[in-house]
Amino acid sequence: MTSSYDLRGRAAIVTGATRGIGYAVARELVAAGARVCVTARDPDDVRRTAARLDGVGLPGSVADPDHPRRLTELALRAFGRVDIVVNNAATNQPYGPLMDIDPREWSEAFAVNVEAPLRLVQCAWHGWMAEHGGSVVNICTEGARHVGPRIGAYNTSKAALLHLTGQLAGELAPRVRVNSVSPGLVRTEMARFVWEPGETEIASGLPLGRIGEPEDVARAVLWLCSDAAEWITGADLLVDGGTNVSRARIAP
């Protein structure tokens, strides 16, 4: 019996795929049989990651308006198709109270976290998906649904990405499914400043008793990309160890 997670013959673009959640996603997609095209800013990391995953890679920032087009063209040249797009690259800057934030840094956050995902989906749509179909997963955050100290720019941009996910899901159906995954705290470089100083305490406050690992998120992304999720679009899947329901928890 063939697994409905089987992605053999398909091709994926994963942004921010050289470490953390993006790398785990790319690895999971490859393990399911897909070919991958990866991107990140550090050229050595991109080269190494592409080689390790037997894929292709393009260094550069997703905020460069031309980068999504070049990335899509590379994937089409290498694999002849783009079935899956995972918009994972993001910035958590500028960090701090909104009254102190430089508007140029605010714009940069939106360029990386919101505009780049839209540009990449536009390129994949016009280059392949409009005719052949596909699946898009945007990586949002559990925090996008509520407010928090010093992360106003990040959470506002992720809330916009969440909205963009729903809008695209409606516009691109039935050819293309568009969903998001919203992680809670995951053990990566981006979140090191949160989990490293107080992991034990943070974990003990979570219903599922530990912080997340990149693979926890990657498995959810794989599921949404695969045919097992063929009737799901416009959904946001929380992968947060119960963070969102922790207020109901009665401490042991």
Ligand X SMILES: NC(=O)c1ccc[n+]([C@@H]2O[C@H](COP(=O)([O-])OP(=O)(O)OC[C@H]3O[C@@H](n4cnc5c(N)ncnc54)[C@H](OP(=O)(O)O)[C@@H]3O)[C@@H](O)[C@H]2O)c1
Minimum distance of ligand X from residue 90's CB (angstroms): 3
For the bound state, the minimum distance from the C-beta of residue 72 to ligand X, rounded and expressed in Å, comes to 14
Q: Is the dihedral of CA 85, 187, 189, 237 positive or negative?
A: positive
- Taking CB under 6 A as the criterion, the residue among 188, 226, 233, 243 binding ligand X is 188
Quickly list DSSP for the chain. ---TT--TT-EEEEES-SSHHHHHHHHHHHHTT-EEEEEES-HHHHHHHHHHTT-EEEES-TTSTTHHHHHHHHHHHHHS---EEEE-----PSPS-GGG--HHHHHHHHIIIIIHHHHHHHHHIIIIIHHH-EEEEEE--GGGGS--TT-HHHHHHHHHHHHHHHHHHHHHTTTEEEEEEEE-SBSSSTTHHHHTTTHHHHHHTSTTSS-B-HHHHHHHHHHHHSGGGTT--S-EEEESTTGGGGGG----
Residues 198 to 217: which contact ligand X by CB under 6 A? none
Identity of the residue, 29 or 90, whose beta carbon is nearer to ligand X in the bound complex: 90
* Residue 15, strand partner residues: 39
Among 14, 30, 34, 112, which residue interacts with ligand X (rule: CB under 6 A)?
112
| Marked catalytic residue, from 5, 23, 95, 154 | 154
The number of residues making up the chain comes to 252
Query: Per CB under 6 A, does 179 bind ligand X?
Result: no
Return the number of the residue (95 or 227) whose C-beta is nearest ligand X.
Answer: 95
- Of the candidate spans 3-11, 70-78, 180-188, 220-228, the one that interacts with ligand X by CB under 6 A turns out to be 180-188
Q: Is 154 a catalytic residue?
A: yes
The answer to whether 241 touches 210, Cβ cutoff 8 Å, is yes
List the one residue from 56, 58, 168, 186 that touches ligand X (CB under 6 A).
186
Which of 39, 135 has the CB closer to ligand X? 39
Write down the least CB distance from residue 36 to ligand X, Å: 13
* CB-nearer residue toward ligand X: 16 or 134: 16
Binding pattern to ligand X, positions 139-178, x when CB under 6 A? x-x-------------------------------------
State the nearest-atom distance from the C-beta of 49 to ligand X, in Å.
Answer: 8
Smallest distance, ligand X to C-beta of residue 195, A? 7
Residue ranges binding ligand X (CB under 6 A)? 15-22, 39-42, 45, 61-63, 88-91, 112, 139, 141, 183, 185-186, 188-191
